[in-house]
Amino acid sequence: MRKPLITLAALLLTSCMQSPPSGPPGSTVPPGPTDGRLYISPQPEISPTATPKNATDNVWGSAPNIDPHYGGVLYEGTAYQINSDPRPDLKDGNQPLRMWVADPNDGRTERPAIIFYHGGGFAMGVNSMASDGSMAYALDYAKRGYVVISAEYRIDTTLFGELRPNGTKPSLCQWVQDNNAPGDPTYDANLAQCSRNMEAATRDALAAVRYVRANAGSLGVNPDRIVVSGFSAGAVIASNTAYQWDNVGTSSYFPGDTLSPVDSRPNATLGASGCTFSADGEPSATIDTGDVAYSGIASLYDQAVSYDCVRHTVDRARSMGLHTEMTSYCDTALHARELYLAHKYATDLQWTHFMTRELGIYNDIEPFIPAPLC
């Protein structure tokens, strides 16, 4: 809980592993006793539907623009360059925020919901909500019975640093992480901007939780079973919603938005390569006893994220008595989606068991047991 000072970074939470087998059922990864049940495994009778990629009627809210390049050329002079910003036009200085929904289409109501956030260093990922990778994850979990919402958050498309030989530049937040120099004017200014960008994204995610909760009936979800998840920067967002859920800001996102911290609090969170970190490198003081359970995966040698951030976040959360799972892969540098795909079966089992236990869906899931980190 608690209002953040400034946050930085990316990763979080359960066992320390030397890249164990993570194949399909029947492999050397033993299946759990509840593998075949709804919300644990894909259900053969479920055929999910999804919002079309080119949808124009999927705006759920709006918030003040933070991107100085909005509506113009993005990532100019780099291999990422986009000549025409594909995002909707600003309205009175506010950015419309969209969502793509993967619905099990199974006739059930009161279903658990997962709100998913893409990565990109809080600078990349324009329109990634409907990308093949995001929607593959959404449809996979919709096939298990979850309503999965791939949601947009505000990003600042500013890149910073020297142009690399491959024509790319680091995101502003990545540059800050790679060039730790407190007291240097350029570093301090970039840190402040990166922190603002992360706070904006976190507030967008908390608002999305409020929106889903307020519209639970029309979405067919249980308002007390809302999970926030993400990869990379999206996992930072998920972690921050777990530990900074009262940092809602002052902007109303949608008609009837109450800005209630209680309504902003998710019921569980998931992440691949994400954490909550304070600017001084110490364990985040925002993590408190009333915060939310988190389950994640991380790699020791991840070059996009400091594993120290994982340790700090997990140790602090566990010291507060929070259920904080972290599967750490101690012999690899794989990051976010690549780490998830390399260990998909094991991670899906971890996350579905975690959700069905923490959301109170099943009462016979194995109990939470904190495992060591790398």
**What pLDDT digit, counting tens, does each position of 308-351 carry?**
998 999 999 999 999 999 999 999 999 999 999 999 999 999 99
Domain ranges, ordered by start, for the chain: 7-358
Q: DSSP E strands: which ranges in the chain?
A: 7-8, 16-17, 49-50, 59-64, 94-103, 111-117, 147-151, 221-231, 268-272, 277-278, 294-299, 324-329
pLDDT at position 207 over 90: yes
| Structure confidence at residue 1 as a pLDDT band (50, 70, 90) | low
Per-residue tokens: 292: 């939310």
Residue 321 to residue 184: CA distance in whole angstroms: 38
Look up the CATH superfamily of 7-358. Answer: Alpha/Beta hydrolase fold, catalytic domain (3.40.50.1820)
Tokens 């904006």 appear where? 200
247: amino acid identity, one letter: N
User: In the chain, what is the straight-line distance between the N-terminal and C-terminal CA atoms, in Å?
Assistant: 26
Per-residue tokens: 136: 């593959």
Q: Let me know: does 206 contact 264? Beta carbons within 8 Å.
A: yes
**CA 155 remoteness from chain centre:** 14
Per-residue tokens: 49: 């539907």
Torsion of CA 105, 108, 110, 112, to 10 degrees: -50
9 sits in the region (left: phi over 0; alpha: psi -120 to 50; else beta) called left
pLDDT on residue 24: 37
Q: 7-46 burial string, b = 16+ CB within 10 Å, else e?
A: bbbbbbbbbebeeeebeeeeeebeebebeebbbbbbbeeb
Q: What are the distances in angstroms from CA 113 to CA 132, 179, 259, 310? A: 20, 38, 20, 26
Residue 111: helix, strand or coil by DSSP? Answer: strand
pLDDT on residue 19: 43
Per-residue tokens: 133: 């990778």
**CA 146 remoteness from chain centre:** 16
pLDDT at position 164 over 90: yes
Per-residue tokens: 82: 């986009």
Decide which of 265 and 14 is more confident.
265
Q: DSSP E strands: which ranges in 4-155?
A: 7-8, 16-17, 49-50, 59-64, 94-103, 111-117, 147-151
Tokens 């960008």 appear where? 197
pLDDT one-digit tens code per residue, 26-80:
333 344 444 799 999 999 999 999 999 999 999 999 999 999 999 999 999 999 9
Q: Let me know: does 133 contact 163? Beta carbons within 8 Å.
A: no
Average pLDDT score over residue span 233-238? 97
Residue 251: helix, strand or coil by DSSP? Answer: coil
